[in-house]
Structure 1
């Protein structure tokens, strides 16, 4: 089953089936808390899925800020839209696009047409880049849609380390089920292109978090 087909099937139940609370929310919290976010900021959420980052981001940017969620799956975006409507988050802009093939100038214009700013003060990808065969292009596009000196963050997965390496087969199986490449290590983009990089990890090293500021 192709990744797009998986997420079309799983979208309505994704929040329940994704092991969010026992495992993956820990990485989201660390990543978002590590971003240098301020009230009124605009944040790109690349591969936003069902909007699992939105609540944590809202706490940091407030109603005067803007969340721009970009995802290639219309079914996942439909869930994100329901979540925004249910919580009365009127500062959420949702755009259907593939981060590996989008044209940054066109997306920036689309954001501006919907009341946002062309360039965002922050950009984040959580458990998304490892789903993309060409994650390097997606990372470059994140940079091109962000303002100079923007706060950048990547949260993703690798095999658990140390004593937790016994859980590696389970981690590999979970990533395979979701279509992620556990060997991708996309947080290296932050390490290569950002200053003041803050590394962190959780769940026995399975979750890797990197935040920094664009040089």
Structure 2
């Protein structure tokens, strides 16, 4: 990363930490409401028993149970989040369920490194609040096996139609509520980085969306 961009990057990261530490006690209020959007993305991942999965910006672990059901006790789920309070709540969820194959790390998703690759990854309502959206997408891509998939659900301003007039208000709300990165276009970044990217579903006039992207497998050519 260029030195001139680093202070802004660090400032955004720290603001996200403070914000999501604060919201960690209330995240469960929206967990059930947003479940259909999250599940639409996760259910399109070709997960199998024994797979390794990465949960990017895992929050309090709302995806853990569904992912673990898919990969079984022989699989491994690794989750990362930058908020210490979110990480604490995710670890508490793991402990309460006795999940021995789920690991939660506090880390910056743009920079975190792993020794082993993943068969799939998921990011639900997290990429758009990161200080370097494309950098996060590139890091996920680099840690997927060839043929690996990345399920994403997130929010954005209204993409088309007359309701775009409310976008200035939406942008301010997203910034206030979640520290959304105003310069980070999640779908554009995903389409630039990944070899395939498909929007599966849209919600609330296109504000919410679920997508699945894929890293190409040269052996399939």
* TM-score (normalizing by structure 2): 0.79
* Partner residue in 1 for 2:121: 123
Distance 1:203 1:4 in 2: 27
The equivalent of 2:79 in structure 1 is 69
Distance in 2 of aligned mates of 1:145 and 1:70: 13
Indicate conservation of the 8 Å contact 2:53/2:78, yes or no. yes
The yes-or-no answer on 1:158 pairing with 2:156 is yes
Question: What secondary structure sits across from 2:209 in the alignment?
Answer: strand
Taking the aligned partners of 2:157 and 2:40, their CA distance within structure 1 comes to 18
What is the correspondence of 1:11-160 to structure 2 with a 5 Å cutoff?
11-16=24-29, 19-22=30-33, 24-102=34-112, 104=113, 107-108=114-115, 118-160=116-158
State the partner residue of 2:199: 199
Task: Give distance in 2, aligned partners of 1:202 and 1:54.
Answer: 23
Partners of 1:62 and 1:76 lie apart in 2 by 24
CA contact 1:152–1:190 (8 Å) conserved in 2: no
Say what the alpha-carbon RMSD is for the aligned residues: 2.4
Correspondence for 1:212? 213
Distance 1:95 1:206 in 2: 30
Rounded Cα–Cα distance in structure 2 between residues aligned with 1:136 and 1:166: 27
Structure 1: state its 5+ residue gaps: 109-117
> What SS does structure 1 have at the residue aligned with 2:186?
coil
* Residues matched between the structures, number: 200
Runs (5+) with no aligned partner, structure 2: 1-13, 217-221
Alignment CA distance shift 1:25-1:174 (3 Å): farther
Q: Secondary structure at the match of 1:51?
A: coil
2:16 pairs with 1:3: yes
Distance 2:19 2:214 in 1: 34
Distance in 1 (CA, whole Å) between partners of 2:35 and 2:16 is 22
User: Could you tell me which residue of structure 2 aligns to residue 114 of structure 1?
Assistant: none
CA contact (8 A) 1:130 1:184 kept: yes
Q: Structure 1 length as normaliser, TM-score?
A: 0.81
